[in-house]
Amino acid sequence: MNGKSEPAERYGVGVDFGGTNIEIALVDGAGSIAQRARVETRAETGPDSIIERMAACVVGLVKAGDAAREGIVGVGIGSPGPLTIADGVIRGTPNLPGWDEIYLRDRIASAVGLRTWLENDANAAAYGEFCFGAGREVQSMIILTLGTGVGGGVILDGRIWHGCSDVAGHLGHITLYPEGRPCGCGKRGCLEAYASATALARRAREIVIEGRETLITSLADGAPSKITSKTIYDAAVQGDEVAVELFRGLGHDLGVVIGSLLNAINVEMAVITGGMLAAREFFFPTLIETARENSFEAAFGAARIVPSELGGDAGVVGAAALALDGRQPYSKPAVDNV
């Protein structure tokens, strides 16, 4: 596939492993989802139970696709990290208790009888957009996923960039404001502490508690604890000045980081995705202008800053693309693990 085009008769199985649900899809060589399934993660049941249900769902999907079965080339899994990519191991992830030193890649490969790849979930989303979405005409790009946290991924010269210890692409943990707000990672001032849905809702609660007049208060029934990013969006749609100001602040912070990244790695594209993208009309103009102000003219002029085309399917499509690719898009040679 070489990251860009593929005859549609070959299929990959993509697995988007989340803390709440596991999304699984049979994806053809053109990036179209032929079939899909979902199973609840039920994180409290532990790794063995989750892996068993994940494998059963993959097998069920493969069996259901009778016409495609002979063309299925493998399984790709997008998973929360940290990971060791070359070994296919989850090293421990905060939202999944007990997931430490779990050889997920090889256990799924053994259970389903198909060659399997393991990748960071945000990197899988980046690869999906790169192969079949907004980035299909470029060779270098970054992605920022805006949701409960801020995820990220980097594609350089057609390959996912992992760095020397598999932690490259954690764009949400770029320090934006030294000595700033605490972040869930244990550091301070990270982009995630300012530009995630969680951070936006926290700031709105502070404003309401301060007594500033805003529609957000009434939309939350006067209870700051009920404020979510959706509450803020609803207020912005109705023209609320505070809500619009909050989104502009988010756009500013994203723009500072993206502008700096354009200078640092000179990519052709920055893709924004995630649940917060629904509010892009309120933050995209500020994001783009701030990125322009914080990057060299040559870097900004060569890049496009765009919304995701695959939306919520980017992760599962990108995971399948790892299998469809046929090569290991990493720094180590591909090794059969079945």
* 39: Cα separation from own chain's centroid: 19
Asked whether residue 2 is assigned to any structural domain, the reply reads no
Q: Which helix (H) or strand (E) holds 186?
A: none
Does residue 4 fall inside a structural domain? no
DSSP string of 135-175, one letter each residue: TTT-S-EEEEEESSSEEEEEEETTEE---TTS-TT-GGGSB
Nearest to 145 by CA among 167, 172, 163, 181: 172
Residues whose CB falls within 8 Å of the CB of residue 303, separated by 6 or more in sequence, listed in order: 262, 266, 267, 268, 269, 270
pLDDT number for residue 95: 72
Do residues 316 and 15 make contact, with C-beta atoms less than 8 angstroms apart?
A: yes
Q: What's CA 272's distance to the chain center, in Å? A: 9
C-alpha 227/C-alpha 191 separation (Å) is 21
Rounded mean pLDDT, 211-220:
96
pTM of the model: 0.88
**Which of the four pLDDT bands, split at 50, 70 and 90, describes residue 105?**
very high
Share of the chain above pLDDT 70, in %: 92
- Does residue 188 share a domain with residue 114? no
Q: Is the pLDDT of residue 96 over 70?
A: yes
Same domain for 320 and 267, yes or no, is: no
Task: Write down the mean pLDDT value for the chain.
Answer: 91
> Do 100 and 149 share a domain, yes or no?
no
Residues 151 and 300 in one domain: yes
For residue 331, being part of any structural domain is answered with no
Q: 125 and 201: one domain?
A: no
Residue 334 has pLDDT above 60, yes or no: no
Number of domains into which the chain is organized? 2
Other Cβ atoms less than 10 A from the Cβ of 295: the count is 23
Q: pLDDT by residue (tens digit) across 59-68? A: 999 887 654 5
Provide the strand spans (E) within the chain.
Answer: 11-17, 21-28, 33-40, 72-79, 83-84, 89-90, 116-120, 141-146, 150-156, 159-160, 269-273, 304-307
Q: Burial level of 298, CB count in 10 A (0-12/13-18/19+)?
A: exposed
Hey, is 73 helix, strand or coil? Answer: strand
* 33 and 67 share one domain: yes
Rounded Cα distance between 132 and 113, Å, is: 26
Mean pLDDT over residues 88-108, rounded? 90
CATH number, domain of 162, equals 3.30.420.40
**What is the per-residue pLDDT across 234-249, written as a single tens digit (0 to 9) for each?**
999 999 999 999 999 9
Residue 68: per-residue pLDDT: 52
Residues 84-110, mean pLDDT to the nearest whole number: 91
* In a domain? residue 201: yes
Three-state SS at 240: coil
**pLDDT value of position 319:** 96
Same domain, 109 and 33: yes
Domain that holds residue 143: 138-308
Instruction: Return the SS3 of 306.
Output: strand
pLDDT bin (cut points 50, 70, 90) of residue 5 is: very low
Are 292 and 164 found together in one domain? yes
Q: Say what the pLDDT of residue 325 is.
A: 87
